[in-house]
Structure 1
Amino acid sequence: MTVASLVPLARACALVDDVPLAVDADGVPLVVVRHRGGVSVFDGRCPHQGNLLADGEVVDGHLVCAAHGWRFDCASGRRAGDPRTCLHRFDARVVDGEVTIDAAELDVFRMQRAGRDARAVRPFRSLPGPRGLPLVGNLFQLRETDQHLVMEDWADEYGPMYRIRLGPYRILMVADPLLVEDAFKRRPDTFRRMSTVEGIARGLKAAGVFTAEGDEWRRQRKVVVQALTHGHLKHFFPTMMRIVARLQRRWEQAADEGREIDLLDDLTRFTIDVTSTFAFGQDLNTIEGHEGTLEQQIGEIPRALSRRVTALVPYWNHVKLPADRALDRALVGIHDTLARLITDARRRLAEDPGLAARPGNYIESLVAQSEGGGFSDEDVTGNVMTLMLAGEETTARALAWLIHFMCERPDLRDTLRAESDALLGADELLQDFATHPRMVRIEAAALEAMRLKPAAPVLRLEALHDTVLGDVEVPARTPVFLLTRHATIRAQAATGAAAFDIERWIQPDGTTLDATSAKAFFPFGAGPRFCPGRFLALLEIKGVISMLCRNFELERAGSGPVEEKLVFTMRPDNLVIRLKRRAAQSPSPLRNQP
């Protein structure tokens, strides 16, 4: 092997024992691991769902995937418990202090990965689809708030792959579960989020790992994942439960007054308080009505995203409407606040180096992780903004939909109440972080609610280059809309997919099926870009639902159906409830804390 045939990957002196290193080898993601003096180079994607293995950690001589816990031997690459599954291990050598692999081996691996069978492919233009009007196409057949329902109806009529036109955009619609999963797995190298979304986020100065693509995403991903670890959530848990107690007091007052509750409004207040406290250590306390300037400013952003994502042209770059001017004022205030908080965090970390191992909030964790790593204040700001928006919108809606199903299903209500009573005992609230993994049925119910009522029933991607999805040619820059909810239900049609059934999530050993291991389940995404905040979301859901079941009787109030409305994320409209206190319980130690 000549030096010219070698591909350098990393300086050997830069490797840290048992710390996976992500490497991009001419567009091929690899992972380098040094364990017990030996250096191994593997395919960088987990064979399960394509997640990046460099996001994981080394435990007991195994490289553990961060997404779903698959374990691979650091020397051989064989999967623990399943020797038939093995990572591709490259013939790595250290030459002149550089970890290298053979260029020919890399080329063969690349061709095998990219290889397709010889079946015929169809041109994109041959796909069926609904008839439209000249110039605008199907634009006027889609309203912002219910467009997902129309798209799902079209999938029933035209099949799992069809095309539509919105003005100048010719869009591939995909509802086949295997193809939706394939598209997820091929991010960020073949498919990316629509470039218009990234541009809008950058214009809002809210560009974080959620909107980043390619190398920018790889640069930010691991820092963000490390800031949302199990250890950080355990440290935050008592604070979160104090906010759950505050929501309990609000609901007790409503129950005592016989007052109806706008459920989504209350849950949004809860998630704002949790997310703001986790993100930057500032409890906004909107539950008790302490609305201030910052939460009003943050509230402008989801409305702006909804307006701009559905606009055919970026009019705001040329003409500022009153809503756009209000947004600009809000952004100035938000970023002034975050700049001050980041400066304060850097000062605290400089004064107390030990704080990096026990950060008090998300900003401190990001700043600590980013020291020396080229993670700028702008990166920190974008990711804090992302957490605030995603944490508020998606978790509040998931909770609201689950409580809706509890109103509709007395058997579900009884099941979740029985689990809450058994695990909480005499307490009114979840007290011990170690108890939450035992909330198997609450977690299963949350996953089932997200399966049927996902926050994002349509995900908008675009092709980075000419490619093939299934048997359809997809030209570069073609928008590809994934109908994730419709695909999930199609994949599970034989198991009563339209019915709410938590048993589909309960494994024979009595544990809950891991969401990232579930077939055709996309509320947290799939592949390399699974949602790093899913553990926080599920922890919030368990805290609120166990509190609700333990302390209240629940019923639907109001009249008329609860409808799906898509406003950036999918929310329940007309969901009003009424609560009654259950029999008096022993007071919790957290009960009277603010």
Structure 2
Amino acid sequence: MVAGTSTALGWLLVLLFSAVAWYLSGQRRAGNKRGKLPPGPTPLPLVGNLFHLDPREMHRSLEKLSKTYGPVYTIHLGSLPCVVLCGYQAVKEALVDQGDDFSDRGAFPVFYRFTQGNGIAFSNGEKWKVLRRFALHTLKNFGMGRSSLEPRIQEEAQCLAQEFQGKKGVPFNPIDLVCRAVSNVICVLVFGKRYDYEDADFLLLLDHFNENFRIMSSRWGELYNIFPRLMDFVPGPHHRIFHNFEKLRQFITEHVRRHQKHLDRNNPQDYIDHFLLRMEQEKQDPQSYFHMDTLVMSTHNLFFGGTETTSTTLRYGFLILMKYPEVAARVQQEIDRVVGPGRPPCLADRKAMPYTDAVVYEIQRFISILPMGLPRAVIRDTPFRGFLLPKGTNVIPLLSSVLSDPTRFKDPASFNPANFLDKEDAFQGNDAFVPFAPGKRICLGASLARMEIFLFLTTILQQFTLQPLVPPAEIDLTPLCTGLGNVPRPYEFRVLPR
């Protein structure tokens, strides 16, 4: 009875504060009357469809609503209408078949307060196109997605293995070491250097990343995105996000200043150097997108994107392999047969390791690291499935529903590498494999992430057996929290040399 009263009081306070926010800030982005949005659950004034959603598992709530309203429907987050795309076919038709129409970034207040529309991930229009094209070109020149970067990843994977070896069978939580290893790869591309695993500034930076990803994936992060003006005045851990963002901005700004001081215009060493040269070239152009704020935000986007999702995927992967030791054993058999103990795994091995490749893909499918993707918006009034989405309409591409679409995967609720194997046990791709989001806004670092996940995972399994501290049946794979991302529960394990 007390718990029920507390819950009711909590919702009453949300409603009250929402009403106050309404009068203070006015109605947020009401739907364009020219449009015809898909039907959905009836929203309440001020709070929209808040009572239809569980902030702890927003994507599950949205998937459940699609069973009533179909694969394309409208949900109101506060007073903001959003069109939800559920399932492979709906997401493909929008983000791929009509990719240009759905290519803007939608409203994401928790990031916008920090970026102000700067950077690569959260800018729109010509600015986004220019910055993304520049980043792709620059990072490819430094080896991103190419074999020339492979030795750098292999070296970092060996550093991680040495750190694991140094634990000497004592239980430990892998989060810090995995984050350091993965982050060092993007650090080389962006900052032109790797960090020692004990560097105090580096460790503090990664702590900020981890904390932000966790809070943004909690109910606090979800509520901030629905009621940003209200939540600015509500006490809670969500305020740590912006404190951490500011620390990250200071860290990156300091690096930029060092680069400015030591810039060799004839021999740029990394992404920041190239950006600074472009700033010099266009300093007389008032329309240029290359300025200090954009550099800092773009660097943050690359650093955050290149660290958090890949390291979380690896940590989740270790947990899954301990849950299913027969899968880990079969991967190790394939590693032993193809690679052996005498050399590090390499990307060329993938073609001869179909089961391992299938496991890597299935880990990413099963965990659905960004279950709702990042919001999109239509760039113009857009006809779609008999409706008319007004320019600027927010769109939620429910990636979790694609990665668990029963028309595309066998028994999608279970972990099953056979989802990516044919009848002859050869690797088989699947168009519904979209952990990096499909279409124009596909993750800029997708090719790098694929390389890293394969090389880090195979290097560790080549050298170690992963031993859980509880029986495999007791390992809980449900996320600790889910929102922006699916965050695995903290765990410790032993790594035993093979």
What is the CA–CA distance in structure 1 between the aligned matches of 2:280 and 2:338, rounded to whole Å?
41
CA 1:554–1:495: 2 relative to 1, 3 Å:
same
| 1:455 aligns with one of 369, 372, 391 | 369
Corresponding position of 1:363: 272
What is the CA–CA distance in structure 2 between the aligned matches of 1:566 and 1:494, rounded to whole Å?
22
Corresponding position of 1:203: 114
What is the CA–CA distance in structure 2 between the aligned matches of 1:274 and 1:284, rounded to whole Å?
10
| 2:485 aligns with one of 569, 577, 581 | 569
- Native 8 Å contact 2:84 2:395 kept in 1: yes
What is the SS of the residue equivalent to 1:174?
strand
What is the CA–CA distance in structure 2 between the aligned matches of 1:494 and 1:337, rounded to whole Å?
43
CA 1:132–1:409: 2 relative to 1, 3 Å:
same
- Greater mean deviation of Cα atoms: 247-256 or 497-506: 497-506
Residue 380 in structure 1 maps to residue 291 in structure 2: no
Please, what TM-score do these two structures have when normalized by structure 1? Answer: 0.65
CA 1:538–1:167: 2 relative to 1, 3 Å:
same
Root-mean-square deviation (CA, aligned residues, Å) is: 3.7
**Deviation (angstroms), 1:458:** 0.9
Q: Deviations 1:149-208 (Å, cap 9, x if unpaired)?
A: 2222222344322333332123322213222122213345445222344x8336346832
Residue 410 in structure 1 maps to residue 319 in structure 2: no
Q: Between the two proteins, what is the percent identity of the paired residues? A: 19
Corresponding letter in the other structure for 2:229: Y
Please, what TM-score do these two structures have when normalized by structure 2? Answer: 0.76
Corresponding position of 2:397: 482
Corresponding letter in the other structure for 1:335: R
Q: Deviations 1:221-248 (Å, cap 9, x if unpaired)?
A: 2111113327524554444334323322
Question: More helix by proportion, 1 or 2?
Answer: 2
- Native 8 Å contact 2:87 2:405 kept in 1: yes
Q: Deviations 1:512-546 (Å, cap 9, x if unpaired)?
A: 567xxx42222112222222211221222122211
In the TM superposition, 1:177-196 aligns within 5 A as 177-185=88-96, 186-196=98-108
CA 1:425–1:289: 2 relative to 1, 3 Å:
farther
In the TM superposition, 1:392-541 aligns within 5 A as 392-427=307-342, 429-430=344-345, 440-459=354-373, 460-490=375-405, 492-493=407-408, 495-505=410-420, 518-541=430-453
**Deviation (angstroms), 1:456:** 1.3
**Deviation (angstroms), 1:470:** 1.8
Gaps of 5+ in 2: 1-34, 283-287
What is the CA–CA distance in structure 1 between the aligned matches of 2:351 and 2:297, rounded to whole Å?
31
- Greater mean deviation of Cα atoms: 261-270 or 166-175: 261-270
Q: Deviations 1:16-53 (Å, cap 9, x if unpaired)?
A: xxxxxxxxxxxxxxxxxxxxxxxxxxxxxxxxxxxxxx
What is the CA–CA distance in structure 1 between the aligned matches of 2:435 and 2:209, rounded to whole Å?
24
CA 1:277–1:146: 2 relative to 1, 3 Å:
same
Corresponding position of 2:459: 547
Corresponding letter in the other structure for 1:569: G
Corresponding position of 2:23: none
Corresponding letter in the other structure for 2:253: A
CA 1:297–1:410: 2 relative to 1, 3 Å:
closer
**Deviation (angstroms), 1:253:** 3.5
What is the SS of the residue equivalent to 1:554?
strand
Corresponding letter in the other structure for 1:372: Q
Residue 241 in structure 1 maps to residue 154 in structure 2: yes
CA 1:405–1:532: 2 relative to 1, 3 Å:
same
Q: How many aligned residue pairs are there?
A: 447
In the TM superposition, 1:73-92 aligns within 5 A as none
CA 1:575–1:328: 2 relative to 1, 3 Å:
closer
In the TM superposition, 1:127-276 aligns within 5 A as 127-129=39-41, 135-185=46-96, 186-197=98-109, 200-201=111-112, 203-204=114-115, 207-229=118-140, 232-233=143-144, 234-257=147-170, 259=171, 261-276=172-187
- Native 8 Å contact 1:209 1:220 kept in 2: yes
Larger gyration radius, structure 1 or structure 2: 1
Corresponding letter in the other structure for 2:159: R
CA 1:266–1:377: 2 relative to 1, 3 Å:
same
- Greater mean deviation of Cα atoms: 284-293 or 442-451: 284-293
- Native 8 Å contact 2:468 2:494 kept in 1: yes
**Deviation (angstroms), 1:329:** 5.5
CA 1:366–1:504: 2 relative to 1, 3 Å:
farther
Question: More strand by proportion, 1 or 2?
Answer: 1
**Deviation (angstroms), 1:264:** 4.0
Q: Deviations 1:481-530 (Å, cap 9, x if unpaired)?
A: 2212213432634644444443544589998567xxx4222211222222
Corresponding letter in the other structure for 1:455: I
What is the SS of the residue equivalent to 2:264?
helix
Corresponding letter in the other structure for 1:543: L
Pick 1 or 2: higher relative contact order, CA cutoff 8 A, min separation 6.
2
CA 1:369–1:226: 2 relative to 1, 3 Å:
farther
What is the CA–CA distance in structure 2 between the aligned matches of 1:350 and 1:193, rounded to whole Å?
35
CA 1:135–1:556: 2 relative to 1, 3 Å:
same
Corresponding position of 2:468: 556
Corresponding letter in the other structure for 2:111: I
